[in-house]
């Protein structure tokens, strides 16, 4: 049986690697990104996929984009929804120097967008065989792990995403859906920078291993890249 993935932020880095790896295993992938016309690597992957990968305009802060993608998916079962699209925000955020508009925009991308994606596709996920939703978060959203301060916008956005996913995991569990949070590690990507500890291929293989082993009792868990639990 062919499985189906819907993924946001698929044009580069971790999202592109998720798309590549799942497509290589025969999955049908709906790959969303904000500017498909500029997603050269993703478009090449789609062209070589024998129809397994399709590319769709998807800015998760725009309701019309989410609705349009949901319409394309139709009634098809979605085994896995990955909320990968995210934003770090301004680099110079520090106490006494925060930008309200940038903060609100970050929350729209990192928190509200994933929620609206889940709301749009929950019925599709519930109809599937695997019934899984994963949102990419960060240890920087952990209260206990925060020993360096700063990063107000990014930390608060990921902490809010964690709260959203925890509630969604509880609400969706009666439908057989397992919703979890994944920390991808410090990855060498445009967002993670060149000094990351692992590359995107290693990160994605680790997260895919976690997703493959999920049990109903894992719903709402906050996983590190090695499969251990991160404290809230």
Q: Each residue's pLDDT tens digit in the chain (232 positions)?
A: 799 999 999 999 999 999 999 999 999 999 999 999 999 999 999 999 999 999 999 999 999 999 999 999 999 999 999 999 999 988 888 999 999 999 999 999 999 999 999 999 999 999 999 999 999 999 999 999 999 999 999 999 999 999 999 999 999 999 999 999 999 998 876 655 666 679 999 999 999 999 999 999 999 999 999 999 999 9
The CATH homologous superfamily of the domain defined by 4-223: NAD(P)-binding Rossmann-like Domain (3.40.50.720)
Which residues are the active-site residues?
A: 138, 154, 158
> How many C-beta neighbours within 10 Å does residue 109 have?
19
């Amino acid at each position: 049986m062919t499985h189906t993935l819907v993924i946001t932020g698929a044009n580069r880095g971790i999202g592109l690697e998720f798309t590549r790896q799942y497509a290589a295993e025969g999955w049908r992938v709906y790959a969303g990104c904000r500017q498909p016309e500029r997603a050269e690597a993703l478009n090449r992957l789609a062209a070589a996929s024998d129809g397994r990968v399709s590319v769709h305009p998807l800015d998760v802060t725009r309701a019309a984009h989410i609705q349009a993608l949901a319409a394309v998916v139709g009634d098809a079962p979605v085994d896995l929804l990955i909320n990968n699209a995210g934003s770090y925000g301004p680099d110079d955020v520090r106490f006494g120097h925060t930008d309200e508009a940038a903060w609100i925009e970050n929350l729209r991308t990192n928190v509200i967008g994933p929620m609206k994606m889940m709301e749009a596709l929950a019925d599709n996920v519930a109809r599937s065989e695997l019934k899984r939703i994963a949102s990419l978060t960060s240890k920087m959203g952990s209260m206990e792990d925060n020993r360096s301060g700063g990063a107000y916008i990014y930390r608060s956005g990921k902490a809010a995403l964690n709260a959203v996913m925890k509630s969604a995991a509880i609400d969706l569990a009666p439908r057989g859906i397992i919703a979890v949070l994944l920390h991808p590690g410090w990855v060498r990507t445009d967002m993670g920078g060149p000094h990351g500890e692992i590359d995107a291929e290693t990160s994605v293989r680790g997260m895919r291993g976690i997703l493959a082993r999920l049990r109903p009792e894992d719903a709402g868990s906050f996983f590190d890249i090695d499969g251990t639990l991160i404290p809230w």
